[in-house]
Amino acid sequence: MKNEKALSPCALTAKERRFGRLDFSKRGFENLVHGIFLILGLITVGSVLLITVYLIISGIPAITKIGLVNFLLGAKWESTAAQPKFGILPFILTSVYGTAGAILIGVPVGFLTAVYLAKVASARVRAIVSSAVSLLAGIPSVVYGLVGMLALVPGIRTVFNIPDGASLLAAIIVLAIMILPSIINVSITALEAVPKDYEDASLALGAAPVETYFKVSVPAAKSGIAAAVALGVGRAIGEAMAVMMVSGNAANMPSLFQSVRFLTTAVASEMSYASGLQRQALFSIALVLYLFIMLINGALNFFLKRSKEE
């Protein structure tokens, strides 16, 4: 065909060169983004390692001087006495009981609320309740503590007829309310990520909607719900200010209607004036709290992995 114009080798080379430059620019941008994400990930891991090393270096000397058994199993904390005692068993047990109580109250309430909002509630009700949950998440800890001091503590004192309402019970109730936003929001996200085909298949087989939600959707979203519970546990264990304001902050063995002190409040209440061995012991408490949180997260990840394998 004489009238057909064939592309010259120079024109083909120019096209290939242009597309090659575009492909090179795309690969370069992807490599740049990948490098940024890698750096951010390394910064995160480095921060965790830095905190771990710092707590170990700062916390080990006091444990060495006091003795591991006396420190962990000692029943008395008298850091400012003439002959100081640094036993943190009351703090450990209080943190365990307080966190367990908050989880026992907060997880069922948060989980059922999430199922209702994700599967049952109308769009208007969901918008109103979701706004309230988001508001709960944005309230500062000191406000929770202040409301607890002014309303909850006097209420407990009146209802149970005890001398002081600042107690472990007040701390449990405040913590249960504070962990609700984390549990509800993450559980809703996990439930909404379940493919709708699962529910349609269950309904087509004759299952009731509620039965479908709890026997199909919830098991499919259990990893996300477990992550929500882990976030709630972390929030409950790590809270200091609100707990300090409603628990009485006294170094007693844990009792439901008695003033108590948590691991976090032990550090926060004395760090401003501590020195010498007392200050080192507070860093040791922080190390124990850090290891405690890591142990809980590790246990949750282990059981989740085992459940997936089964």
The predicted-structure confidence for 218-233, as pLDDT tens digits, reads as follows 888 888 888 888 888 8
Q: In the chain, what is the straight-line distance between the N-terminal and C-terminal CA atoms, in Å?
A: 69
In the prediction, which pLDDT does 14 show?
Answer: 58
Spans in the chain with pLDDT lower than 70: 1-24, 304, 306-310
The reported pTM is 0.83
Cα 110 to Cα 196: distance, rounded to the nearest angstrom: 22
Nearest to 72 by CA among 90, 55, 56: 90
The string of pLDDT tens digits covering residues 258-269 is: 999 999 998 988
Residue 159: enclosing H or E segment and its boundaries?
Answer: helix 153-160
Paired with 77 in beta bridges are: 86
Cβ-proximal residues to 104 (8 Å cutoff; 6+ apart), any chain: none
Give the tokens for residue 197.
């085909």
In the prediction, which pLDDT does 261 show?
Answer: 92
Cβ(239)–Cβ(171) below 8 Å: no
Cα 278 to Cα 270: distance, rounded to the nearest angstrom: 9
Helix, strand, coil percent values for the chain (each to nearest 5) = 80, 0, 20
